[in-house]
């Protein structure tokens, strides 16, 4: 079902209030005015937000309230993603030296290590059926990619939630990869060069674009061609529309387009001072940090 005007309004309000929600979320003893609250991820039901602060993952009600830590360790834990049923979260942690993918119950509990590789493994999504976790890692380039055999350019893999051998999904970088509801397509943004992901107002030959990969046809299709930055796409529930962050208006804002008409895009937010970051989607809600 397409996202309604009411839901879009709710998503814009969440974008506006999220910094305030998170700023008051941590106990006073932790920090009076916490900053750098990053990597938010909204639960499928839209009721809970995960975020990262000082190397740990917290959860807080979307309506506001006190945050509760899900991970407490000397390691750096970040990049949490929800399973589609809302029961589990996957995240990256360097508790064994390099970043590996871990999984744990969404309500808290023991975290299980899913990957065991010397490269850094960063999760971006669960598979549509929640049996696996998609993650980016620079493990092994194919022969066609030997021009740049460096750790900066990753590949996309999938690992079972029960653990085991990781499978190669895409040989080229597929950053912030997420799946459509049917599990037949993966949407992502590319990586063409070495530019910092935090740079603003960047225009060059290596700016990111949005792509979609058809798992059945084994075909990549470019969806955006803006000369600046387009990144962090998420599917709508109808499997055709998608949302992403774009600097078309000057600063990063949420933009809507579709697989059927990728040349047509519509701005959903219009922030001018600060960029919108970290777009995630619940069943009927968009969430981002403005």
- The confidence score (pLDDT) of residue 195 equals 84
d(CA 277, CA 36): 12
Residue-level pLDDT at 73: 85
Of the chain, the percentage scoring pLDDT greater than 90 comes to 68
Which helix (H) or strand (E) covers residue 39, if one does?
strand 38-42
For the chain, the residue count is 290
Per the CB < 8 A criterion, the answer to whether 172 and 219 are in contact is no
Q: Using alpha carbons only, how large is the chain's radius of gyration in Å?
A: 18
What pLDDT does residue 91 have? 98
What is the band of 198 on the pLDDT scale with cuts at 50, 70, 90?
A: confident
Q: What is the pLDDT of residue 153?
A: 86
> pLDDT confidence of 34, banded at 50, 70, 90?
confident
Q: From CA 285, how far away is CA 230, in angstroms rounded?
A: 20
Between 73 and 135, name the one with better pLDDT: 135
| Tokens 């674009």 -> residue | 209
Question: CA angle, corner 39, sides to 48 and 64, nearest 5?
Answer: 35
| pLDDT at residue 4, as a whole number | 44
Number of domains in the chain: 1
Which pLDDT score is estimated for 263?
95
Q: Is 130 helix (H, G, I), strand (E, B) or coil?
A: coil
Query: Where would I find the beta strands (DSSP E) of 27-151?
Result: 38-42, 48-53, 56-61, 68-69, 77-82, 88-93, 100-105, 112-113, 122-126, 132-137
**Interval 231-238 mean pLDDT:** 94
Q: How many helices and strands, by DSSP H and E, does the chain display?
A: 1, 22
What CA–CA distances, in Å, run from 61 to 14, 33, 65?
12, 18, 6
pLDDT band of 273, cuts 50, 70, 90: confident
The reported pTM is 0.86
Residue 11: band (very low, low, confident or very high) from pLDDT cuts 50, 70, 90: very low
Dihedral-angle region of residue 59 (phi above 0 means left; psi in -120 to 50 means alpha; beta otherwise)? beta
Express each pLDDT in 147-176 by its tens digit: 555 567 899 999 999 999 999 999 989 999
CATH code: domain of residue 38: 2.120.10.30
Q: What is the pLDDT of residue 193?
A: 86
Question: 200 or 91: whose pLDDT is higher?
Answer: 91
Q: What tokens were used for 1? A: 């079902």
pLDDT value at position 89? Answer: 98
- Mean pLDDT, all residues of the chain: 86
Alpha-helical (H) ranges within 34-186 are none
Is 43 strand, coil or helix? Answer: coil
Going by pLDDT thresholds of 50, 70 and 90, the confidence category of residue 17 is very low
Q: What is the pLDDT of residues 77-104, one digit of tens each?
A: 999 999 999 999 999 999 999 999 999 9
Confidence of residue 69 (pLDDT cuts 50, 70, 90): very high
Range of the domain at 130: 5-289
């Amino acid at each position: 079902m397409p996202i309604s005007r009411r839901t879009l309004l709710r998503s814009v309000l969440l974008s506006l209030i999220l910094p305030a929600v998170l700023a008051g979320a941590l106990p006073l003893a932790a920090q009076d005015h916490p900053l750098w609250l990053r990597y938010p991820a909204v639960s499928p039901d839209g009721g809970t937000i995960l975020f990262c602060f000082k190397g740990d993952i917290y959860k807080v009600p979307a309506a506001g309230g006190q945050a509760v830590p899900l991970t407490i360790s000397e390691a750096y834990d970040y990049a949490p993603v929800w399973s589609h049923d809302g029961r589990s979260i996957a995240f990256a942690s360097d508790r064994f030296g390099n970043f590996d993918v871990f999984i744990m119950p969404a309500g808290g509990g023991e975290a299980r290590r899913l990957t065991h590789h010397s490269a850094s493994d960063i999760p971006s999504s669960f598979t549509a059926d929640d049996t696996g976790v998609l993650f980016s890692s620079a493990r092994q380039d194919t022969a066609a990619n030997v021009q740049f055999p460096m750790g900066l350019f990753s590949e996309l893999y999938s690992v079972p939630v029960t653990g085991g051998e990781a499978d190669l999904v895409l040989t080229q970088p597929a950053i912030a990869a997420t799946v459509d509801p049917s599990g037949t397509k993966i949407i992502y943004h590319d990586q063409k060069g070495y530019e910092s992901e935090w740079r603003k107002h960047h225009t060059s030959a290596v700016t990111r674009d949005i792509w979609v990969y058809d798992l059945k046809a084994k075909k990549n299709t470019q969806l955006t061609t803006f000369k600046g930055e387009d990144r962090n796409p998420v599917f709508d529930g109808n499997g055709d529309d998608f949302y992403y962050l774009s600097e078309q208006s000057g600063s990063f804002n949420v933009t809507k387009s579709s697989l059927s008409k990728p040349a047509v895009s519509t701005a959903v937010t219009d922030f001018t001072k600060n960029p919108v970051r970290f777009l995630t989607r619940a069943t009927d809600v968009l969430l981002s940090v403005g």
